[in-house]
Every structure is written in C-alpha cells, then in structure tokens.
Structure 1
Amino acid sequence: MTPQRADRDPLGLALLAAAIGLLLLVGASGTSVAVPPLGPDGWAPPSLPWRLGGWTVVALQTTGYVLGGLSLWRHVRRPTPLRLRWWQLALLAALVLLTAPFGTADHTNYAAYGRILVEGGDPWSVVPADWRGGTDPVVDRVQHPWREATSVYGPVGTWLMGLAAWLGGEVARQVVWVWQVLVVAAWLGTRELLVRLGTHRPTVDRWWTTNVLVLGAGVLGAHVDTLAVCAMAAALGLGLAHRPLLAGLATGLAASTKLTAGVVGVALLWALLARSQNAHLPGEMRAPSAQDAHPPGEMRAPSAQDAHPPGEMRGGWRSRRPAASAVAPALRLIGGTLLVLVPAHLLIGAHALRRITEAGGGISYAMPWRAVYTALDLATSEPVARTATTWLAAGGCVLLAIALWRLTDGLTEVVAVRALFVLTTAYSLGAGYVLPWYELPQWLATAVLLGLLSAEGWRRFRPLLLLLVARSTVLALAYVPGRVQLPDDVETVTLGFRFVASPLATLAVWVALAVMYRRARTVWSGVTARP
C-alpha cells in the first residue's frame, strides 16, 4: 500500500527553514564558542557586527539540529516532495559562503597543513606548533590539542588544502574561505551526481542538499569528508554505468582524500562478485521470484507498483551486459584504484601513510565503546585497552553489517547501493571513533537507496530510517558547540550530554536492530519451512 503523500507540508518546510536559518546565524556571527578565531577577514566575507554569548550559541545550534531532525522525522512519517528551484539552491550556497565554519576547529588544521605544504614543509611530519617558530599567521591559528598533531589526511585531500592555502595567501580567513568554496562545490557536485544516478531531485534535496545532518555537520563545518563523499558519488555512478576502470580512479581519489571513503570500492567489488556468481551472497538465500530473472546487482525495469514511491526515483539502471564473469571488471576496478593510491602515497612517503593509518585507533566519547575502553584501561595498560577496544568495535561493525544486510534484503536489486548503505551505516553505528560529519557517506548511500525503493520497500525501510534520523540527531547534539576550549559551565553540560546521551542512543539503536534482525530471521525461517 502506498503511503499517503501531501503535495505540501507548510509545517515541515517551516521546521526545515528555521533549522537552516539558525545554523547559518551561528556561522555568520563571528568568533564564539562554536567558531574559532581566524583573525582579519582580508577579502573574505566579514561576519555580522555582533558577537553571540556562549549559551546563545548553544541554544541556536541545539534548536537548529532538533528542528532539522524533526523535519526529517516528519517527512518519514508524512512523505512530501521537496522541490528546490535553481535560485533557491544558489541562495543557500551563497548564504553558506557568508558564514565561517563552526562546530569544530578542523578547518584551522586544514589551513595549516595546506600552508605548511605550499611553504615547502611536510604536514605529515611537522606539527603546527613547530612550524616557523609559531609565527606563521595561518598555522598559528590552529587550536589545542591539534597544535601538536601532524596531518592524518590523504594526499589528495592535503593537496586541496594546499590549493586553498596558495590562493588564500597569508590571511587565515582567506585560506579558510577558499576551502569553503571547495566544500560547497563538492556538496553541490554530489547533488548533481546523485541526480544523474537517476535519483529524483526531491529525494536528493530532502536527504542530501537540505538535510541538516549533512548541511550542518559537513558543509557548514567545512569538513574534508564532504570532498571525499563527492568522489564516492562519482565512483558509485561510474561503477553502476559499467565503467570499472574510471570507477576505480574515482575510488582512489576518494580514499586518497580520506581513507575510509574507499569503502565505495568495496561496495562495487561486492556487487561485481555477486553478479559473477549469478546467485545471492551467503545469508541472502530466498525463494526464487520473477525478479530473480535479472542479474544480481542490476536493477530491474520499473513496474507499475514502482511508480512514484515515497523515495521518488525516476527510471532506473538497466543492465547492458549479461551476468558474466566479473574477473576482468574487478581487476579494472582494483587497478584503477591502485593507479591513484600507489603513486599518490609514494609521493608523500611511507611515514605519511603510517600516520594516516594510525589515526584509526581513536575512541570517541560519544560512542558506547568509550566505556569499554575505560574499563579495560583500569584493568590493563592504555595501549592494550585501546587495541582491544578497536578490535571489539571492528567486530561490532561486522555484526551490525550482518544485521543490516538481512534487514535490507529485497529492498533493491542494485547490490552496490545496498552494500554501500550497509557498510557505511555499520561503520557509523559501530566504529570506535565516530563524529557527526563521519556519517556523510551513510547519508549519501541512504539518498541513493531511497530513490530505488518501491512503496512496499519504503514501508519496510521506514522504521530503520527513523532510527537513523533519531540517532544521528543525538550525535550532532553531542558535539554542540563542538570546540575543545569552552567555558566551564558550557563544557560541563555539553560533555555530560556527549558522555551519556549519545552512547545510550547508539546502544538503543543496537538493541532495536537486534530485535528487528531476530524478527526478520523468524519470518524467514517460517517462509523457508513451508512445503
């Protein structure tokens, strides 16, 4: 049964507009507990002629994320199309570029690493505090504790930081603004790539362009993850268009921007292997149906029941090749990826690669694994506790992926999209170190998956989508206002929420997924037991 849809939802649009407006106000208001100081503006856009107090900023950010989460929740419960016109999109992009990044001080790190690179240094071996005796006008803007940290970003991402530093010159605000232009271009580029994939524009604009969990955490925070996700979208599109070599090159660009973005290559390889076997992966066995006449990993032609589902995808991907051996395309995919990864990392050196891979051992306060790490740290040494917790988190991601694979069974025949959703969501829910902007790949995969759902698929997927929206909203709130150095009263409240509310919300999702998985297994057992 197709869910009821209204043509307009004034309340939902008001919630969304208010959410975006409040977050834009935080970024436009200059230095605050959410916006680190950047010094003179230079030729970059100036901030508004006032400064917001600490609790005012917290209230604005909190309200913005809550209203944004409610707008998504309302859309899931009462699906309505969101149609952005070109001038609305241009206005939103212009308003974003009138703000300064907020929520973290990561953009000061990006500016510093780019500056060190263009000045002839090695950002993977030189910490900002040691560069030119702490007198450089751009590098000196880095906040503690990152003044003592070298770059953990891939070569492509760092070279783009260098481009921003080269264009921005010796004024930190100018460097950051050029970086923001790159981020906004990637955000809009991802939107265009999603549309070219066949996802209906209202779905893209609802779940990517205006999604506050993307716009607030990723774009307004000017995070490198936004650039990596754009390359992921390109890789996914090229893979689905049967261009494995080009998809591999795009995967290499994604992974060379941020290593974890290489997961898109895993999803594409997964789809190729599934298609070559012409059978379902282990654990996905189900009774044959008429849809099974189509090769695994390929989308069947739209049928009448697929017309305008809540996910609103137009058309679809039709296989242009038979389900033959995937060895050759898999090798081209892997070869294309290595063609970017290997030379890029050889250029920066083994020490840089080691630094990039070492960055994966963090344990964030907002995840349940922090309690595990703390308990182990009391009983063992810190390195043992960290290593053990990292491996436990990896095992948790595997279990979550298994559950999500079962829960998404039958939602789409496009295996690459399903695999990307499963892998990115399992990481967001189960990794040891997760921050709000780390979820951008998950929302990319979610937007594409929603575009493929039939009415029945939407009905089945809706409970899981509601869980993800609620949990991601709590995670975003856990990093309000986001900076490390805060007034004591603000720090007490924000860290308390981060230490308690966010881990509990994630635990609740784990429990809910376990219950949903158990029910799915029970239903499946009942189906397969029939004569």
Structure 2
Amino acid sequence: MSAEVTADPRLAERYGKRAVALYLACTTLIVAVGLLGPSVVVLTLTNRHAWLPSYWFDTKPNDWLVSVLIYIAILLGGIGVWMALKALKHGWAPRISRLVALGIGTTAAVTVVPPMASGDVLIYAAYGRIMTLGGNPYTTAPADTIRLGYDPVIAATERPWQGARSVYGPIATWIQWLSSVVGGDSMQLTVWMLQLSVAISLVVTTLLLLKLVGPNLPARRRVLLLGMANPLLLWSVLAGAHNDSIAVMFAVIALVALRKHVFLAGLLIGAAGATKLSIGLVGIAMLWSLRADWRKMLYLCGGGALAMGGLYGVFGLQAFQQARSQTSFISTGTPHKVLLSFFNLFLPNGLVRTILAILAWVGLIVVAILLTQVMPKSLIPQTHPDDPVPAAVRYTAIYAVAWLLTAMYSLPWYDVIAWAALAAMAASKVDGLMVVRTTMLAIAYVPGRDPNARQVAASLSDSLEFFSARLRDTICPAIELAVLIGVIVWARRGGAQWWPYDWPRRKQKAVPEKAAV
C-alpha cells in the first residue's frame, strides 16, 4: 500500500524548494522566540553564564506575540514536511550533503537558544541535581529538597512537577546526573547539557538509519527529511529537550546490532527501555521479526532482561514502579480525556479509567492488526534471507503508530519513535496523517506551562489561556480522533480485515467416507 512515485521534475522542484523554505522559516521563528528571552513559551534559566549557551535577550515579550509566532512556526513546519513528502513522491533529488547540512544546521540553531513550551527539562535538571547531592530522584521529589534548604537548580523547577518523583529510567537519570555535574549550580548550563544530549541523539539516530537504508539515494533523502531535519521534531523534541529521543537512539542502535548480534541487540534494547519504558514497542517488534527462530528470540529476551534487570536493580524496585506509574495517566488532548470528563458525570472515576484503559489496549491491537495488512515495506534492504531488521523496522512503525493513536497518555514529543521508523519506510497515507497528528498536538501544547507558576516570566492573559485551553481540550481531541478514523478507513479500503487469522476458529475436520458394503 505504498504511495507510487510519479516522476514530475517541475512539481518535484517546486515542492522541494517550498519545503526547504518552510523548514528554514519554522526554524527561524523558533530561534527568534528563543532569543526574545523568558516568556510564557521560553523557560527561565537561572545562574546565567553570559558567554555560554543558551543565548537570549531579556525583552519580556508579550504572551500573545510569542505564542502566535510558535503557532505559525509549527504550522509552517507541518506544511513543510507535507511538501517534502510530495516532492519526494514526484522524484525530488536534492544532494544528500545539502540535506545533511540542513539537518545539522537547523538542529544546531535550535540547540543554542533556551528550551521552550514544556518545563520538563527543568525537572530533568532537578533530578540530576538531587542525585549529585546524594539523593535518589525515585524516592525524593524536588519539593522534598526545597524544604531542606535553598538550591538554585531545584528551586527553578515549575509547578505542578515540584512534587513529582522521577518516572524515567536509570540511563536517563545518569544523563541528568552527568549534566548536573557539568552544570553545577547553574540551571542554564545544566539544561544546555541536556539539550545537547537530545540534539546528539537526533543526529546519531538519523545517521544510523542512513547506515541501515544503505546507498539507496531516495531512501536516504527520506530519512534525512523525516529525521534530524524534520521541523516537527525540532520543535516537539529538541526545543523542549525531551529525553525520548535518547531512548529512540538506543533502540535504533539495537536494530543495527540485530542483524549480526542478537544478544547484543537485546542488551541495547534493554538500555533503551532503561531510558524510557515505552520504547519497549521496538523490543516487541524485534521479537516478532524473530518469531521463526525461537533460539534467537530467547537470546533477545535474555539480553533485554539482563540489561533491564541490572540497570533498574541499581536503583531498586521503586525505580521501575515509578517508571510504569505513568501508564495509568490520561493526558489532555486525547479523546480519552473527553470521554473521562463525560462519563465521570454519572460513573465512578476508577471504573471509567479502567474501561478506558481496556478500550485503549483493544484499540491498539485492532489498529496494529489492520496496519500489519496494509503497511508498505521497509526501505532497509535485506542483506541475507534471515535478516530480521527490515521486518523489525516495519513492525516498529506499525506498533508505534497504533500506540500513539490509541494511548490514553500521549504528548507531541512521543511521536519521535513513529517518525524514526516511518523515515525508513516506503511512503504511504500514514505519513500525511501523522503530519496532521504531530502538528495539531504540538500546537495544542503551546504555551504548555502552568500560567500560575512563579518561574513563568510573563503572565498568561485570560484570553490566551482560554484559547490555548480550547485548542488542547476540544479541537485537539477531535483532530486526533479524525486521524485515528482516517488510518482505519485507509487500512480497510486497502483490504485489511478486522481479524484475518484462522484462530480461534476451528477448521472443520473432513468426515471420512463410509466403506462400501
């Protein structure tokens, strides 16, 4: 069900030039808002070192100004990705070196300004600081440390996360600790180290995908335009310095290792899961791609269990319990949140949450089954008959898209796992639908911070607060539901069946003919 390439040099060049222009325009607007300094969009970073990144001017910009500029940036970025896909469909063939320069250049530009929208990176820095002070971020919240005395890094965290203990894996925690060691009592430098780790992970992931797709030039162009040059990821993941990209990087390294060293691949996917548990989707995809060889399945499981058990064992069982606690949350912006609010009017909250959790799991399975029948092939060549990597990448794309569209808790930066896999897949209608999803969800989380938090540099006006709330709790769930329906309709029109398997139906046994008398 891949989209056919229809060569048209004029259309290809037109769409391609516009895509690059929009990529650059989106990046320019993001950087411009960052340079304006702390606002309802840009985070406030304390203990600043004037000559070290991040860089900004204290202009105290208007809340509507910075918000609208970011709305425009995200829209331009989404349109740019759509145009890039159209250009590639018509045979656009830019130089690989230019696309690499575009990706690295835009990534670097966003990295040198302060993080924006979500205050998550401030809590990352606080967890690292707690660890450098001898504490355990899985049992100690920033608020617990604040009560013991003032600390410039921990005090800079924003509500409502000051009372939250870490839900991230040991690898993420060690990166936070290392950033804190380098940054010391400067939130600016600590956060920039975290931004740098995210930027590096995006670049490394893309370079590894280039290695996997090999010399195929159209495939390499697709990887670059949907990978580190993708403006939707630059905003959703890099501008917020979200550590999901680090987990994805470990998962892609595991996919590279899967071709020759299955046990090592298991260790690496365990390390990815020890960064963020949701990356286990890739482990399931890898396992399913090996289903014809039970020995290799055992090697993969053994490596994953050893890595996960060893890494989580360092911090104890509470680290794993904290990491899995997020699976019961329901985020604003999902259709589940709307259903929760409605059914809570006449049903107990616990019962409604249980029902929604069951529906989410059933939905994930159904969507995955449908996509398995129509999703196009991977662009990664099969180096030998038993090479499981192309299938593993294909199943990763399927499971990631199905999870994102049906999960109760879904945020724009979670989409990095789907885009990493889709970048190495042949084109399909899923690409465009994911552009719509990521764009809308990213817009819905602007400004993305608690307007009453003391650290927010500008007050959020009542009008902007009302507007952003309606984007998030009304318009976004409707668009997300429409995308889910669009994926299902596309799959069904492509011939996908709801249940294409023979089991659990029993095949009727043949009745032996009676012997002639």
Q: What TM-score does the superposition give when structure 2 sets the normalisation length?
A: 0.85
Partner of 1:4: 7
Instruction: Give me the whole-angstrom Cα distance separating, in 1, the residues matched to 2:113 and 2:142.
Output: 25
Counterpart-to-counterpart distance in 2, 1:338 and 1:259: 13
Cα distance, 1:409 vs. partner?
5.8
8 Å contact from structure 1 (residues 5, 78) kept in 2: no
**Kept after mapping to 1: 8 A contact 2:111/2:238:** no
CA distance in 1 between partners of 2:338 and 2:444 (Å): 16
- Equivalence for 2:514: none
Match of 1:374 among 326, 341, 345: 341
Q: Which residue of 2 aligns with 1:125?
A: 139
Partner of 1:44: 52
Q: Which amino acid aligns with 2:449?
A: R
User: Which residues in structure 2 correspond to 1:421-436 (within 5 Å)?
Assistant: 421-436=397-412
Q: CA deviation at 1:138?
A: 0.4
8 Å CA contact 2:39, 2:61 repeated in 1: yes
Question: With structure 1 as the length reference, what TM-score do the two structures score?
Answer: 0.83
CA distance in 2, matches of 1:411, 1:164: 36
Q: C-alpha offsets along residues 417-448 of structure 1, whole Å, 9 cap, x if unaligned?
A: 11100100011111001000011000001001
**Contact 2:374–2:496 at 8 Å: present in 1 too?**
no
Cα distance in 2 between the residues matched to 1:270 and 1:376: 37
**Residues 1:435 and 1:118: Cα distance change in structure 2 (over 3 Å):** same
SS in 2 for 1:125: coil
Q: Could you say what secondary structure the match of 1:474 adopts?
A: helix
Give, in angstroms, the shift of residue 411 of structure 1.
Answer: 6.6
Q: Is the contact made by 2:153 and 2:187 (CA closer than 8 Å) also made in structure 1?
A: yes
Correspondence 1:174-185 to 2 at 5 A:
174-185=189-200
Residue number in structure 1 paired with 2:434: 468
What is the distance in 1 between the residues matched to 2:194 and 2:38? Answer: 18
Count residues in correspondence.
Answer: 463
* 1:362 shift after superposition: 1.1
Q: Indicate if the aligned counterparts of 2:106 and 2:229 stay in contact, CA closer than 8 A.
A: no
Which residue is 1:285 aligned to?
none
Contact conserved, 1:44 with 1:177, CA < 8 A, in 2? no
Is the Cα–Cα contact under 8 Å of residues 235 and 264 in structure 1 kept in the other structure? no
Deviation at 1:517, TM superposition (A): 2.9
1:24-53 CA-partner distances (Å, limit 9, x unpaired): 222232211112211231253231353321
> SS in structure 1 opposite 2:213?
coil
Question: Is 2:24 the counterpart of 1:17?
Answer: yes
- Summarize the Cα distance change of 1:514–1:94 in structure 2 as closer, same or farther, 3 Å threshold: closer
Determine the C-alpha separation between the residues in 2 that align with 1:81 and 1:220.
29
Q: 1:494 to 1:151 in 2, by over 3 A?
A: same
2:481 counterpart of 1:514: no
| Structure 2 contact 156–187 (Cα < 8 Å) conserved | yes
Taking structure 1 as reference, are residues 498 and 89 closer, same or farther at Cα in structure 2, changes over 3 Å only? Answer: closer
| 2:294 pairs with 1:342 | no
The question of 1:141 aligning with 2:159 is answered no
Instruction: Render the CA deviation track for 1:242-294: whole Å, top value 9, x for unaligned.
Output: 32111111101110000001211111110000xx1xxxxxxxxxxxxxxxxxx
Q: Gapped runs of 5+ residues in structure 1?
A: 277-325, 526-531
The answer to whether the aligner puts 1:55 opposite 2:58 as a matched pair is no
The residue type paired with residue 235 of structure 2 is: G
Higher deviation after alignment, 253-262 or 379-388 = 379-388
Work out the CA distance in 1 between the residues paired with 2:103 and 2:378.
31
**Which residue of structure 2 aligns with residue 78 of structure 1?**
87
| Paired residue type of 1:466 | G
- Whether the aligned pair in 2 keeps the contact of 1:214 and 1:440 (CA below 8 Å) is yes
Is 257-266 or 83-92 further displaced after alignment?
83-92
**Separation in 1 of the partners of 2:105 and 2:471?**
34
In structure 1, how many angstroms separate the alpha carbons of the residues matched to 2:434 and 2:31? 24
* Aligned-residue RMSD, C-alpha: 2.1
Partner of 1:498: 472
How big is the shift at 1:397? 1.3
Q: Percent identity?
A: 32
Structural mapping, 1:135-284, within 5 Å = 135-198=150-213, 200-239=219-258, 241-273=259-291, 276=292
Question: Once the two structures are superposed, what CA deviation does each residue of 1:111-170 show, in whole Å capped at 9, x if it has no partner?
Answer: 000100111111111111110425111011110000111111011111110010111101
Distance in 1, Cα, partners of 2:101 & 2:434: 31
**Matched residue, 1:312:** none
Name which of 74, 81, 84 aligns with 1:65. 74
The question of whether the paired residues in 1 share the 8 Å contact of 2:107 and 2:228 is answered with: no
Which residue identity is paired with 1:372?
L
> What CA deviation, in whole Å up to 9, does each residue of 1:297-324 have, x standing for no partner?
xxxxxxxxxxxxxxxxxxxxxxxxxxxx
Q: Distance in 1 between matches of 2:448 and 2:153?
A: 21
* Aligned position for 2:503: none
Contact 1:47–1:98 under 8 Å retained in 2 = no
Q: Give 5+ residue unaligned stretches, structure 2.
A: 383-389, 452-459, 500-517
Aligned to 1:95: 109
User: What secondary structure does 1:378 align onto?
Assistant: coil
SS state at 1:257 partner: coil
Kept in 2, the 8 Å contact 1:23–1:216? The answer is yes
Provide closer, same or farther for how the CA distance between residues 365 and 524 of structure 1 changes in structure 2, counting only shifts above 3 A. closer
Is the Cα contact below 8 Å between 2:374 and 2:495 reproduced in 1? no
CA shift, 1:205, in A, is 1.7
> Is the 8 Å Cα contact of residues 81 and 203 (structure 1) preserved in structure 2?
no
User: Residue 447 of structure 2 aligns with which residue?
Assistant: 481
CA distance in 2, matches of 1:232, 1:503: 29
45-54 or 22-31, larger mean C-alpha shift = 45-54
Q: Does 1:419 align with 2:395?
A: yes
* Cα deviation, residue 468, structure 1: 1.5
Output the amino acid matched with 1:505: I
